[in-house]
Structure 1
Amino acid sequence: MNIPNVLTLIRFFLIPFFILVFFSTTNNSLLYSILIFLTAGFTDILDGYLARKYNLITKWGIVMDPLADKLMLITVLTCLVIKNYIPLWVLLIIIFKELAMIVGGTLLYNKDMVIPSNTFGKLSTFLFYISIFTLTFNEILGKLLIYISVISALIAFVNYLVLYNRKLKN
């Protein structure tokens, strides 16, 4: 297992750690849990950089890296909904989008095809990180940015659907 794949595994392990901190009674638990979320984001950037720079891209990493991102994002959004920071519809839209992408990715993977992440997906993920971080300091602006992030996620989803259809036709 190479370093980028280890960083992806670390992101999987950060998910339960985020939950524990988020629901703890510690002062500033929201801030501390968001710092864990940002750490996960940093490991995502780092593993992608290392994989591309040193040609350490693996089929496992292509599949597991976005899965770790999806699980982390859904976990964070679920926690934010439970504590009423954001409305439930945000979570439901993202869960639907992510489940559709997992199903589509699995179908392609079984046909020995993979659609790697692209600029639209990365931008959407980045916007979620910024909006969730902002939410810790400014709830109104954070919610507005989350709504923009949802729109961005839907645009990324449409883009992936186009790529998915192209792959199936080839």
Structure 2
Amino acid sequence: MNIPNLLTTLRFILVPVFLFVFFSDLPNAAFISSMIFIFAGFTDILDGYIARKFNMVTKWGTLLDPLADKLMALTVLISLTIKDIIPFWVPFIIGIKEGLMVIGGLILLKKGTYVSAASHGKMATVFFYISVLTLEFINRPLGLIFMYITVFAALFALYQYLFSFKKAGQKT
């Protein structure tokens, strides 16, 4: 197993660690769980960089890397909903968007085509991190505004990906 795949595996392990800390009575649980979330994001950036820079891209990593990211994101959103920090419809909409993305990606993969992450999706991810950190550390109302922007950006990214999926599907 190469370093990028180890980092992806670590992100899967961080999901239950995040949950344990987030819902614990530990002192500074919100801070610690936020640091776990940030660390997971950092490992995502790092594994992608290493995989591309050192030609370590694998089929395993290509499939599991986005799954690890989606699992962490939905875990954080559902956790924030359970604690009544964000409304229930936020993880619902993001979950549907991510599910559609996975289904579309699997259909294209079966046809031998792959659609990689685009700038719109990365923009939504940046807003997601900003919104979660703003909710936890800066200002909850402002964090909610960023979360709503995140939902809009995610839906816009889905719209863009649907065109990419359609175009890629027509090539096969």
- TM class, shorter-chain normalised? over 0.9
Partner of 1:163: 164
Q: Deviations over 1:42-91 (max 9, x none)?
A: 00010111111111112222221111111100000000000000001111
| TM-score, normalising length: structure 2 | 0.95
Q: Which deviates the most, 49-58 or 14-23?
A: 49-58
| Amino-acid identity (%) | 51
Moved over 2 A (4+): none
* Alpha-carbon distance, 1:28 to partner: 2.0
1:135–1:141: 8 Å Cα contact kept in structure 2? yes
Mapping of 1:120-139 within 5 angstroms? 120-137=120-137, 138-139=139-140
Mapping of 1:75-90 within 5 angstroms? 75-90=75-90
Q: What runs of 5+ residues in structure 1 fail to find an aligned partner?
A: none
Q: Which amino acid aligns with 2:150?
A: S
* Alpha-carbon distance, 1:121 to partner: 1.1
Partner of 1:46: 46
Q: Secondary structure of 1:86's partner?
A: coil
Partner of 2:113: 113
* Alpha-carbon distance, 1:130 to partner: 1.3
Partner of 2:145: 144
In 2: Cα distance, 1:164 partner to 1:59 partner: 19
In 2: Cα distance, 1:51 partner to 1:30 partner: 32
Q: Secondary structure of 1:128's partner?
A: helix
In 2: Cα distance, 1:51 partner to 1:140 partner: 38
1:62–1:116: 8 Å Cα contact kept in structure 2? no
* Alpha-carbon distance, 1:120 to partner: 1.2
In 2: Cα distance, 1:16 partner to 1:112 partner: 33
In 2: Cα distance, 1:30 partner to 1:135 partner: 11
Partner of 2:2: 2
In 2: Cα distance, 1:9 partner to 1:96 partner: 24
In 1: Cα distance, 2:130 partner to 2:56 partner: 28
2:113–2:169: 8 Å Cα contact kept in structure 1? no
Partner of 1:19: 19
Partner of 2:98: 98
Q: What runs of 5+ residues in structure 2 fail to find an aligned partner?
A: none
Cα root mean square deviation, aligned: 0.9
Q: Deviations over 1:96-118 (max 9, x none)?
A: 10111111111112222211112
Q: Which amino acid aligns with 1:13?
A: I
Q: Secondary structure of 2:74's partner?
A: helix
